[in-house]
Amino acid sequence: VSAVAGLEAAGVSVVGAIQGGIPAPRLPQSGLFEAMWPAAAGIALISFTESIAAARAFVRNTDPPLDANRELLALGAANAAGAFIGSMPAGGGTSQTAVNRNAGAQTQAAALVVAATAFATLLFLAPVLALMPHATLAAVVIAYSIGLVNPAEMVAIRRVRNMEFRWALVACLGVMMLGTLKGIVVAIVLSLAGLMYLAYDPRVSELRRKPGTNVFRPRSPEHPQDEAIPGLLIARTEDRLYFGNAANVGAKLRALTQAAAPQVVLLDCSAIPGFEYTALKMLIEGEEKQREQGRELWLAALNPEALELVRRTPLAERLGRERMFFNLEQAVAAFQARQAAQ
């Protein structure tokens, strides 16, 4: 129809000339590295992200579990091999996968059919495909990709977690306003910034005991009956401590200490996977300040990595077995026994 009606002459945008022939092997040009590496890095990031997104969106219950490392290795190997024949960057795509699935593709044989079709195009079909309007290609993509739009999933995300809903919304708007590549880059950057913020400002909670039990949970208005043990402040921070968040955690602990004015500050370390050196140094200095103010610092429920790091510092010798405990219950029982003895 495009050829008979002369759509290109009428101003309709068509695919245009496709360079045919068999690709000739050639060595990659090292001189292009400096000019191309920023764009190549962006393509690699987006290709891997979209490939994994497509795999997770279309995986079936009967398929083997996804392995992101193997996917990345496969993409890297494909692109490294393609560099010797001047191929397009290889990667998975959601719209292409949707077309494949709706066409009945079930196995990797579909990729062989696509490769054979692409080879035939290079040899025979390039003049025919050159006449195809871009709008026709767009219609194919839209028709098969519209099923990927799932408003109910967006509503479910918002119901569970507002932050991730905002990331998803920015990704959608970014793709519509900036294009696929730039839109996904914006979403990835925003997601990484959000994760960095969560790591930068971890939660620090005061724990209290549920009446009649040995269960400790964060203090909250929903549980006003939870018991505070006189003279003991139990605090818990939730994340790995490193130089970026140590100051924030220290400030929150100081605020809790000033409000409670305890004899002992018991730090529940069960949610701390480990300490970075700067954070561990601040913990040592914090213990010294507590002693100067007439208070003691106790540690409980240290994870193996955190415990090993603490043992490499003077803090372990300073605390000893009297102020380092296997769990909260032991620490609270030791505090109450000491209070009773006094």
Q: Model confidence at 320, in pLDDT bands (50, 70, 90)?
A: confident
- Mean pLDDT within 250-277: 92
Residue from 236, 232, 202 nearest 217 by CA: 236
- Mean pLDDT within 2-22: 87
Residue 47 clears pLDDT 90, i.e. is over it: no
271 Cβ contact list (under 8 Å, min separation 6): 236, 237, 238, 239
Q: What is the pLDDT of residue 27?
A: 85
Placement of tokens 């839109």 in the chain: 183
* Residue predicted with more confidence, 28 or 308: 308
CA distance 267 to 331: 10
DSSP character for 133? B
Count of beta carbons in the 10 Å neighbourhood of residue 307: 15
CA distance 323 to 34: 57
Q: Model confidence at 256, in pLDDT bands (50, 70, 90)?
A: very high
- Mean pLDDT within 174-192: 79
Packing angle, helices 180-200 and 162-178, rounded to 10: 150
Residue 180 clears pLDDT 90, i.e. is over it: no
Q: What is the pLDDT of residue 307?
A: 92
Q: What is the pLDDT of residue 107?
A: 85
Q: What is the pLDDT of residue 134?
A: 94
Q: What is the pLDDT of residue 23?
A: 76
In whole numbers, what is the pLDDT of the chain averaged over residues? 87
Q: What are phi and psi of 87, to 5 degrees?
A: -80, 165
pLDDT tens-digit series, residues 69-104:
998 899 999 999 988 888 888 888 877 888 888 888
- Mean pLDDT within 102-119: 87
The burial class, CB within 10 Å (0-12 / 13-18 / 19+), for 148 is middle
Q: What is the pLDDT of residue 323?
A: 92
- The string of DSSP codes covering 304-339 is HHHHHHHHTSHHHHHHTTTSEESSHHHHHHHHHHHH
C-alpha 180 chain-centroid distance: 20
Residue 22 clears pLDDT 80, i.e. is over it: no
- Mean pLDDT within 42-62: 83
The burial class, CB within 10 Å (0-12 / 13-18 / 19+), for 253 is buried
Residue 19 clears pLDDT 80, i.e. is over it: no
Count of beta carbons in the 10 Å neighbourhood of residue 164: 13
How many helices (H) and strands (E) are present in the chain, helices listed first? 15, 6
Enter the tokens of residue 123.
């040899």
- Mean pLDDT within 231-246: 90
